[in-house]
Amino acid sequence: MLLTSASFMWRKWLGQKRWRLLHYLTFPAYALVTLHGLMAARKKRR
Sketch the domain layout of the chain as residue ranges.
Answer: 2-45
What is the pTM assigned to this prediction?
A: 0.60
**pLDDT the model gives residue 31:** 97
**pLDDT the model gives residue 46:** 64
pLDDT in tens, the chain (46 residues): 787 677 678 888 888 898 889 889 989 999 999 999 999 988 777 6
Residue 11 makes CB contacts below 8 A (sequence gap 6+) with 19
**pLDDT the model gives residue 39:** 93
Alpha-carbon distance 4 to 14, whole Å? 12
